[in-house]
Amino acid sequence: MPYVPTGKLTDLPHGHPCETCPVRPITICRGLDAATLAGMRSLGTMQRLRSEQSAFHEGDPAKRVFMVTQGALKLYTLLADGRRQITGFMFPGDFLGVSVDEEYAFTVEALKNTELWWFSREAFDRFVGEHPQIERELYRLAAHELAEAQRQMVLLGRKAAAERLASFFLSLLERTERVSGERETSFDLPMTRIDIADYLGLTKETVSRMLAHLRSRGLIRLQSQSCVEVLDRDALRGMAQGETAEVLG
């Protein structure tokens, strides 16, 4: 499940620089008043990334924190032998780079043209210390990320291939609904089949085979290589939870 911030969405005066921000309702900024939002914005700098361009690399000094406002990114780490493990994907409204370590533990790379706002870690830490509401949201965000990591461990350790892909697709659909605020039937799929395989602990061939299986069962339809329509959400959820009699992979 995607992270959902607490607090009532505040009304902003006409002309406020954050008034038209499409992700404000789903970020840690949600409940901030106009003055606090303006103060936070003044600390930030917009950064645009092209597809395959990195925001930072594993081992870089962790001097910035980031908020995603458009696009999508992948997080990955490299093993000693050069193998890659994708540990997550980031979408509009997500916050990344908050760490107690002095170095980033992963590389962040854009999957498509992406827009970020970055903040100096030192300045952001001071700002958070002055605004307990943001500190509480960051605490909740950290707890949510821990729960997501535990769910990912279960997915990799216990679920069959079809269950993994169904779970992943449901999470992307829920993220799409989080941004739009409406019930959706389709979602963007900006990552490659290899990216999906890396994240789910599968091979590219298995991902392709499971995609074909979901399509043949009438659960999904590929509108394009990067857009998936969910035809039967209940059946997809049942497969994700291992409720179907047939489990492949």
Q: What are the extents of the domains in the chain?
A: 24-153, 160-240
Topology, domain 160-240: Arc Repressor Mutant, subunit A (1.10.10)
pLDDT in tens, 131-156: 888 888 887 888 877 888 888 888 88
pLDDT on residue 213:
95
The pTM is what?
0.88
Strand partners, 224: 227
Question: Does residue 185 register a pLDDT over 90?
Answer: yes
- Torsion sign over Cα 111, 116, 119, 125: negative
- Which range, of 69-73, 163-167, 177-181, averages the lowest pLDDT? 177-181
Residues 6+ apart with CB under 8 A from 227: 186, 187, 188, 189
Same fold, 24-153 and 160-240: no
pLDDT in tens, 29-72: 888 889 998 999 999 999 999 999 999 999 999 999 999 999 99
Q: Which listed CATH number (3.60.110.10, 2.60.120.10, 3.30.420.40, 1.10.4000.10) goes with 24-153?
A: 2.60.120.10
Tell me how far CA of residue 93 lies from CA of 42, 78, 198, 201, 238, in angstroms. 18, 26, 24, 26, 28
